[in-house]
Structure 1
């Protein structure tokens, strides 16, 4: 697991240098709108999280943006009045958040850490966790749900985006050519894939049991759900939704 984290951290540092989509910080214009209460964020590729998933105001809420570096969700929520902490394994992703904070005079805390291990935070530290599609980069999602449940307050909310496991059935190179060819059994692991590109992040699919029931077993009640895709940018978008998002509430027993 340590080697996977180290590898993926380096890859995301490089992606920042290449200015790929999920590393591009929001503009000052977006921040100003957020200050006026006109804001929205995403945790998947295309759709925005329903505004009804959040309280009417996030002013003063303690928010953890988990594996969410890149200067996107964190700065928007900070501009809307939340007390935001951003956690990511990539220091360059966190530097994007720091740059927005300096540029637009925002207060945010950034921490370089793994999403599966958050000992720097005490139990029940946060009111809200925003967790964009990112657990695709770890082998086991259960520690993520457990840590989220630990650091969230009672009746705190977890908003999480993740991949539909069916995405990983298909040969990626063939998909780039417009062909969907089943090539793998699930769950997928890049560590077992001889064709996996060593210059890209290592990815893993997870069963819906691990993604959905995993949250329930950690102490969450699912209260919202939607599906999303890449916005027409991939062949698979013609046939299925490749991502999903959940809203879950922690209830202490």
Structure 2
């Protein structure tokens, strides 16, 4: 495991302690609705994944929630009838999923690990993978796509969210002050900056070629696409969407 990945695992543990929005477990009312067939999840900040990206029924479907701890997507999909495994690097994020499962009487498998190494799972283990914006926290993204392809069954579906790398062009402090000033190039690596701060995540702005062509090179066909942003919470939101979601189907040629 790379030191940056280990660093980010601990940083996400700290985010749980701080109560970050992406670590807040889903409420009981949402689980109740999901059990009744009324459910939705997100893999980016604001928009929800279209329901037609999923099969009409999740009963018996084996779903891997990849780098998806926090007690959000996994419990909803389990309540909707899926056989869900939540895989994440942060123990405290996984504890949020365990908390919801125990509170709501859900069956969830909880596995700790690095999203670039899914060797704990055999080939063709899952019908679907749900992968919210998370590959921004690994130095290399293509291994994520190859491992996802390996553990998916033929014609299995990968639903993923990721960052448009344009976000990382700008000076972050000035962007927060309402000014857009280009400071970095793409691909972006936090490791190239002056210091690594304990408790703060290290982020990596991967090229769109690695994000999208990386999926097709791993054996996927892109069958759905949409853009999202931070809901107007950042200056850059005024000019461009900085998050992308794709639906991809594994097809062996």
Query: TM bucket by the smaller chain?
Result: over 0.9
Cα distance in structure 2, aligned partners of 1:198 and 1:33: 39
Aligned residue number for residue 214 of structure 1 = 214
Cα distance in structure 2, aligned partners of 1:205 and 1:117: 20
Cα distance in structure 1, aligned partners of 2:251 and 2:179: 45
Is residue 187 from structure 1 mapped to residue 173 from structure 2 by the alignment? no
Aligned residue number for residue 34 of structure 1 = 34
Spell out the pairing of 1:104-119 with structure 2 (5 A cutoff): 104-119=104-119
Aligned residue number for residue 84 of structure 2 = 84
Structure 1 residue 44 displacement after superposition = 0.3
Cα distance in structure 2, aligned partners of 1:212 and 1:198: 31
Structure 1 residue 197 displacement after superposition = 4.4
SS of 1:130 mapped into structure 2: strand
Is residue 63 from structure 1 mapped to residue 75 from structure 2 by the alignment? no
Aligned residue number for residue 141 of structure 2 = 141
SS of 1:174 mapped into structure 2: helix
Aligned residue number for residue 22 of structure 1 = 22
For the Cα contact (< 8 Å) 2:11–2:198, is it kept in 1?
no
After superposing the two structures, state which structure 1 stretch, 186-195 or 202-211, moved more. Answer: 186-195
After superposing the two structures, state which structure 1 stretch, 26-35 or 197-206, moved more. Answer: 197-206
Cα distance in structure 2, aligned partners of 1:25 and 1:193: 33
Aligned residue number for residue 5 of structure 2 = 5
Cα distance in structure 2, aligned partners of 1:10 and 1:197: 12
SS of 1:221 mapped into structure 2: strand
Aligned residue number for residue 173 of structure 2 = 173
Moved over 3 A (4+): 195-199
Aligned residue number for residue 157 of structure 1 = 157
Provide the aligned C-alpha RMSD in A. 0.9
Closer, same or farther: CA 196–237 of 1 in aligned 2, 3 Å: farther
Structure 1 residue 199 displacement after superposition = 3.5
Cα distance in structure 2, aligned partners of 1:243 and 1:5: 21
For the Cα contact (< 8 Å) 2:139–2:204, is it kept in 1?
yes
With structure 1 as the length reference, what TM-score do the two structures score? 0.98
Structure 1 residue 119 displacement after superposition = 1.1
Cα distance in structure 1, aligned partners of 2:199 and 2:160: 27
Structure 2 gaps, min length 5: none
Structure 1 residue 186 displacement after superposition = 1.0
Closer, same or farther: CA 170–198 of 1 in aligned 2, 3 Å: farther
Cα distance in structure 1, aligned partners of 2:28 and 2:3: 37
Structure 1 residue 198 displacement after superposition = 4.4
Cα deviation code 1:34-89 (max 9, x no counterpart): 00000000000000001110011111100000000000000000000000000000
Cα distance in structure 2, aligned partners of 1:168 and 1:203: 9
Structure 1 residue 6 displacement after superposition = 1.2
